[in-house]
Structure 1
Amino acid sequence: MIPSLVRFAVRRSLNDTRHIRVVKRRHATGLVADVYRQVERDFGMLAPPTALHSASPGTLAASWTILRETLLAQGVADRAAKEAVATGVSAANSCPYCADVHGMTLAAIPDAADPSALTSWARESATAAGASSPPGPAEQSPELIGVAVAFHYYNRVVNVFLRDSPFPTHVPESAKPKARKVLGGVLRRSVAGPRPGDSLDLLPPAPVPADLAWAAPNPAVATAFARAYAAVDAAGIRSVPARVRDLVHGRLSVWDGRPPGLSRSWVDEPVATLPAADQAAGRLALVVALASYQVDDGMVDEVKRAGADDATLVELAAWASLAAARRVGTWLAEARAAAA
């Protein structure tokens, strides 16, 4: 009874999603319905960080595919190791929602090995200077790097669209310790994990790009990311002006993972180089990519006033988030190759 109530409460937290409307489960059709069914089957509930993408079905499928095939699916690394990486990355990216969810899941896994080495690796590898090969057997690296890249993506979109807590705003603070314990148990209910590869057919085939060399030893992970990358690239072409894409790629090409600054003044100069019509989108895309915790309501409202609907807003945030996550993947791949 209590787990069912906690699932219901977390589903209700979809009502707290910011800036966009999430497709309700009962109204979902087509690809959105297909993804929702898999999420509920394999994750135990309709997870808000995935469902928030529902205005853009292809982006929804992409976000789910990389999460499922890294964090959840059966593999060489166990679920506790993956949750430790998710928790560390989320802390590095100042994403309290994801740090809370995955920290409580990790705490609920029985007989888990000490996660501190993997959590520290994940935090330190958020910068190029701190990047190293994942601790543990080399055959686990594609899964662990995959989780890290997936959460560098997820943390950014969550920081834009969700509040700081996975629990609805009406849940009192006094009830949250018990709720965390129960929710952690619900989320880790299938520690063994679902069968790898079941999500891949949600997206069309795509070539594996060079920056996925780290995933090559694990075909399911490599295929998941290749298809997700292609889907989000297509979303970027639809929803992010070409000049904005060029600006973000240029900044990311020299970015080393360090925060750009305590204030948002760092974004003013590069955005000023854009045409006036693109500046709102450029500002949001750059801040999502480099410091998503600095996104505020005014920044998003400016993009909406420029004409962005829910699908455009989701696709802009998703494209910028994945562009940054792919950049992190490059230095993780280099560190893995150096250690081989």
Structure 2
Amino acid sequence: MRPTLVQAGLRGLSTAQVRQVRAVRYGAAEQDVARVYRELERDFGVLAPPIALHASSPDVLAAAWLMLRETLLVPGTASRAHKEAVSTAVSETNNCPFCVSMHSSMLIDLVGYRDGAIPDPGTRAVAEWATANATPDGAAGHPVPFPASQGPEMIGTAVILQYLNRMVNIFLGELPLPPGAPAASMTVVRRVLVWLIKSAERRGPRPGASSDLLPDAPLPEDMKWAEGHAAIAGAYARAAAAVDEAGRRSVPAEVRSLVLEHLARWDGKPMGVSRAWVEDAIAGLPEDQRDAGRLALLTALASYQIDQSVLDRFRAGRPDDGSLIDLTSWSSLAAARRVGSWMTFRAQDEALPPAANSTHE
């Protein structure tokens, strides 16, 4: 059977998985949304729900796609197995079962991943690096198991998963299945997804082929890890500018400042099960901004704590889907950028080139 026939049959099942916002169906997508959907099927192999969920905010959709495409999907010097190991490790750290299921399925096929164990030593070392780099303390003391030239690919993959884990925890279920589908069907679904993804990989997505979805932009200081890889640096610069603009249009300035203040002090560790910390944090906001502040802080620091009441309270003041995607996207990327800023990608004895000596602001 041809992959295109299977892809067409899965389109409705993919968008049916999106929760909290009205999904944009493949046949109803217009302009840039339609183009991203086509590129998802071409380069990823399937209309991936973690990207498709952004469709109510087209520039944010393009941003998420550019970051994922240039890091995980475009062939580079880092192997796909190593990138999938990073993706799985980051998703496990962030307690994102949907993403763990997707990326571990590829690891099973590529390296024989079973029951949380990676048999290949090199792939296992990369996963351990990703887990250690979830906190700045862990990053500082952990060896780097790949050459510095692979830093943009490896950190870029980790950063996009840090971002997507948060969005997926809000807008998708625990498994890549449509509502009502039995969990037992995952065995078949895994095989089909891996087949489609590997078919797309064999076609070899070209670096930078989607960059014109968003205008050029300067690379932010906290993304200097991408320097030296033009396509990844360009994708992240464009994406950061688009998501920052989404934040300006949909997230009050006081809320953005509050989130950034908390992220500056964050040590990468989970916030725990209580939400008392967030209520204390938003107490100083104007009353009409507290619901946005609550959702923004939880998205950035504890997406697993978000329940329907948090979303409903935000929706009471901003009922449109675009505002919800804008706010959660901005908060998710702010947290992902923070993690990326402390990730190590050079061995201690490797010289730091002058261009990467800038400090994080």
Is the 1:6–1:182 Cα contact (8 Å) retained in structure 2? no
Alignment match, 1:136: 146
Between the aligned partners of 2:57 and 2:328, the Cα distance in structure 1 is 11
Question: Quick one: structure 1 residues 337 and 326, their matched pair in 2 at CA, closer, same or farther if it must change by over 3 Å?
Answer: farther
* 4+ long deviations beyond 6 Å: none
Query: Which residue of 2 is the match for residue 117 of structure 1?
Result: 125
Deviation at 1:2, TM superposition (A): 10
Counterpart for residue 316 of structure 1: 327
Please list every run of 5 or more consecutive structure 1 residues that lacks an aligned counterpart in the other structure. Answer: none
TM-score with structure 1 length normalisation? 0.94
CA 1:11/1:256 → structure 2, altered by over 3 Å: closer, same or farther?
farther
1:149 aligns with one of 150, 156, 159: 159
1:76-95 Cα offsets, whole Å, 9 max, x none, are: 11111111111110000000
Cα offset for 1:308? 3.2
Deviation (angstroms), 1:305 = 0.9
Against the structure 1 CA distance between its residues 29 and 50, is the aligned structure 2 distance closer, same or farther, given a 3 Å change threshold? same
CA contact (8 A) 1:207 1:226 kept: yes
Distance change (3 Å), C-alpha of 1:92 and 1:10: farther
In the other structure, the counterpart of 2:86 is 85
Please give the alpha-carbon distance, in whole angstroms, between the structure 2 residues aligned to 1:60 and 1:151.
15
Q: RMSD of the alignment, in Å?
A: 2.0
Distance change (3 Å), C-alpha of 1:117 and 1:209: same
Q: Count the aligned residue pairs.
A: 339
> Match of 2:178, SS?
coil
1:130-162 Cα offsets, whole Å, 9 max, x none, are: 114641222111100000011100100111100
Q: Percent identity?
A: 48
2:327 & 2:137 partners in 1: Cα distance? 28
After the TM superposition, which residues 293-304 of structure 1 pair with which residues of structure 2 at under 5 Å, given as runs? 293-304=304-315
Distance 1:255 1:337, change over 3 A: farther
Mapped pair 1:63 → 2:64: yes
Q: How does 1:186-197 map to 2 (within 5 A)?
A: 186-192=196-202, 193-197=204-208
Q: Normalized against structure 2, the TM-score is what?
A: 0.89
In 2, Cα distance between equivalents of 1:200 and 1:253:
30
**In 1, are the aligned partners of 2:42 and 2:200 still within 8 Å (CA)?**
no
Describe how 1:37-48 pairs up with structure 2 within 5 A.
37-48=38-49
Match of 1:159 in 2: 169
Counterpart CA distance in 2 for 1:133 and 1:273 is: 42
Q: 1:110 to 1:128 in 2, by over 3 A?
A: closer
CA 165–339 in structure 1, closer or farther in 2 if over 3 Å, else same: farther
In the alignment, structure 2 segments of 5+ residues that lack a partner are 114-119, 351-361
SS at match of 2:138: coil
Aligned pair 1:243/2:244, yes or no? no
Q: Which amino acid aligns with 1:242?
A: A
What's the secondary structure of 1:16's corresponding residue? coil
The letter for the 2-side match of 1:224 is A
**DSSP-derived class of the 1:197 partner:** coil
Once the 2 structures are TM-superposed, how far is the Cα of residue 5 of structure 1 from its aligned partner? 5.4
* Cα pair 2:60 2:329 within 8 Å, conserved: yes
Structure 1 residues 177-210: Cα deviation after superposition (integer angstroms, max 9, x where no partner): 2322332232232445411111111100101121
1:126 to 129, 134, 141: 134
Q: Deviations over 1:13-56 (max 9, x none)?
A: 42231110121111111111111111111011111100100000
